[in-house]
Structure 1
């Protein structure tokens, strides 16, 4: 199959060149027309959108992320990646590797708009689309052959071309017989990749792959596995389920399944969101409550607004701190009732913060909400807490004013802070 003109047929030459258009972007696989589960991943998404919108950036290394040296890289373009720049890398380190890199502050609203356009095109080929982040999703194309007059591979290749033409960014596609393998495949040939892992080759393919290729196997679990002599998926497959569950708990069975190429998870549209959060990296380390307090309030207002806009309420408040030594601290408190109110989120988050500010210096602070539920369950009138009604009216008034005059038009006193301590973006 040609990825550029979509010519589909049997290969009759030794060269992988499309006889119709001359493109070298062809794929030949014995199971190409039998596989149905795709994973579509936008290439260097944030950086690609910035380059799309500013052609002068196209041939330059670009880093989207914090615009101060204490920030982190959110999305490096592929030119910057040649120098060793990676996502989540500190800006100072990325700039050391690539001094000419151009730093751009993230524009999440713009990226979400682009993601929505990509998602719309996905839904035009199948209703079974499961987003797993802003820039990637699983698609199940079972039963769509008659509708699209072609197999899943050809339909996905056509989707990639439409995204390039209509949205202006590129994607990489993985095609396989389950979600686990299709996600691995989409990362094999970036950018503009199209990789296939068939049923027959699954075990052979996985045999020598490193254990870290399994999504969810982080540094801590990697160390545990390596201490037990398990460094490859092949070595993992040769363990018994009972050994893996005894050693690693519930995830042991899932590890065994993945090592054997088994993943029975269906592609689930409208997958339930688990949490909503916001965080900020500080321009210098902070160890006093006076400086952190207004930042915390600002974050509480932000997650409150995001929760309200998404149609949710939340029952668990999460505080996230990162120390100057890059140690991450996470604390949480459960509310009696789900809430959307910034003041109630603040009360719990501030209580958690006070307990942690005991001399350590912090470089990042964040607030999150989990145990999400429908907004209709938010903040019931409570006879024990008569302030609820007043808090609701106050926040509704603030929201109304901000919608009319802008976010900066009205602030609570505790939200006033010196912006020099906050990282841009």
Structure 2
């Protein structure tokens, strides 16, 4: 079995537990170590890691990145995780579990900047890099051995150390025969991990795992599967196509295939986002439509900005609201023509908001764009709305002024400070 030292990159066979060159115990070993090419790279507690890098005095302290007692945890370090804190947990629960945590307001622009630095380092390894989020991507390094003078496993180990030295955060890497197993491998050995799952062992490794291990199988699906008598992936994997379809409908055969570790998806660097959204959690619950329209407008402006940055447009709008009791309500509508303008997004969301403001107290509001289309198709104007191109030009001018002089350089009436509630920093 071949082995690789992840610190000095010494590679040899047979396997060794301590590197004979540098004495490191950070050794990766696997029968297929130098043959596998699909890797999943996931930054470790990315937001919190960036903050600890910038504030070394926090290195040994639990850190939560989030906002307000009514907000949620955007990210937390591994020290906080040992206390029971998790991403997306309400802040009041997180602080109850870890009262000595240092809470830091998110700086999304900084995280995006650092995420792009890491992505550029990935793209230097292979053109087949598919971003999954700001701090996560899947790579295919097939055919790159001649370019780098080393197999993908060695190249990835070098990359991981380069990220630590140049960016100041750590990553975990999963190496496997396909995207599904690479993602699961990346989650096995966090933080600063390097795990390998070979093709022949995938089904056996998955079989005893709970169904919730499979990406996309959330709490609701897990309950349904358990109620049907399926608690492990091996039970689902044993189903043939006909039985899987009878049990779970059209998605059944694909679910059974994934439970066996099968995944035919290719790494696609041109994968487009399916939706873009913005949301905010309030410091105190809101009930009236008038009060809710102010944060909704701000989210429409933020969504419009994100569409512009991604060079996309919305051909549909989704309104998301969360009640004081944490129940989520969503409504959606298609637009007559694609847009990137906040006033059009707002106008589409207003009737949906009116239907939801029935006296219920809400703690969160959000706006999303789905489906997405290329920006070139947005706000072209027609007989019903000939002024759309002019409004688009005005919005572009407003954004240019804000970029130069700050967010408050130009404000719409409904966006004036006195009209705004105090939201927590999410979205």
TM range (shorter): over 0.9
3-state DSSP class of the match of 1:51?
helix
Counterpart of 1:3 (choices 1, 6, 17) is 6
TM-score of the superposed pair, with normalisation by structure 2: 0.96
Q: How far apart are 1:249 and its partner, in Å? A: 3.0
For 1:12 and 1:267, the matched residues in 2 are separated by: 31
Aligned to 1:190: 190
CA distance in 1, matches of 2:402, 2:203: 57
Aligned residues of 2:50 and 2:169 also touching (Cα < 8 A): yes
Q: Give the Cα separation in 2 of the matches to 1:220 and 1:296.
A: 29
Q: 2:216 and 2:169 mapped to 1: Cα distance?
A: 28
Deviation at residue 148 of structure 1 after TM alignment:
1.4
Q: CA deviation at 1:48?
A: 0.3
Query: For residues 255-279 of structure 1, what are the alpha-carbon distances to aligned partners after superposition, in whole Å with 9 as ceiling and x for unaligned?
Result: 1111122101001112111111110
> 1:153: which partner in 2?
153
Deviations 1:140-187 (A, max 9, x none): 011111111221111111110111111111000000100000000000
Alignment correspondent of 1:106: 106
Moved more, 376-385 or 121-130: 376-385
Residue equivalent to 2:402: 402
Structure 1: distance between partners of 2:273 and 2:224: 30
Structure 1 segment 230-269 matched on structure 2, within 5 A:
230-269=230-269
- Segments of structure 1 that go 5 or more residues without pairing to the other structure are none
1:252, distance to aligned residue in structure 2 (A): 1.4
- The residue aligned with 1:178 is 178
How far apart, in 1, do the equivalents of 2:225 and 2:134 lie? Answer: 31
Alignment size in residue pairs: 422
CA 1:397/1:201 → structure 2, altered by over 3 Å: closer, same or farther?
closer
CA 1:397–1:37: 2 relative to 1, 3 Å: closer
Separation in structure 1 between the aligned mates of residue 347 and residue 142 of structure 2, nearest angstrom: 49
Which residue number in structure 2 is paired with residue 17 of structure 1? 18
Question: Following the alignment from structure 1 to structure 2, what is the Cα–Cα distance between the partners of residues 28 and 289?
Answer: 60
1:384-424 deviations in Å (ceiling 9; x for gaps): 22342442343234223323322101211112345553224
Q: Could you report, residue by residue, the CA deviation over 1:315-353 in whole angstroms, capped at 9, with x for unpaired residues? A: 001101011111111111101111111111100011110
Are positions 1:81 and 2:81 aligned together?
A: yes
Higher mean C-alpha displacement, 409-418 vs 316-325: 409-418
For residues 202 and 100 of structure 1, the distance between their equivalents in structure 2, rounded to whole angstroms, comes to 41
Secondary structure, in 3 states, of the residue corresponding to 1:191? Answer: coil
Pairwise CA distance, 1:31: 1.1
Unaligned runs of 5+ in 2: none
Matched-pair contact (CA < 8 Å) for 2:317–2:367: yes
Q: Which residue of 1 aligns with 2:125?
A: 125
Q: Indicate the residue corresponding to 1:226 in structure 2.
A: 226
RMSD: 1.4
Is the contact made by 1:343 and 1:391 (CA closer than 8 Å) also made in structure 2? no
Aligned twin of 2:208: 208
Work out the CA distance in 1 between the residues paired with 2:358 and 2:78: 42
CA distance in 2, matches of 1:117, 1:399: 25
8 Å CA contact 2:295, 2:421 repeated in 1: no
Q: Which residue of 1 aligns with 2:317?
A: 317
SS in 1 for 2:110: helix
* Deviation digits for residues 62-100 of structure 1 (CA, Å, limit 9, x no counterpart): 00012x111111111011111111111111111111111
Structure 2 SS opposite 1:421: coil
d(CA) in 2 for partners of 1:330, 1:250? 25
1:123/1:397 Cα in 2 relative to 1: closer, same or farther (>3 Å)? Answer: closer
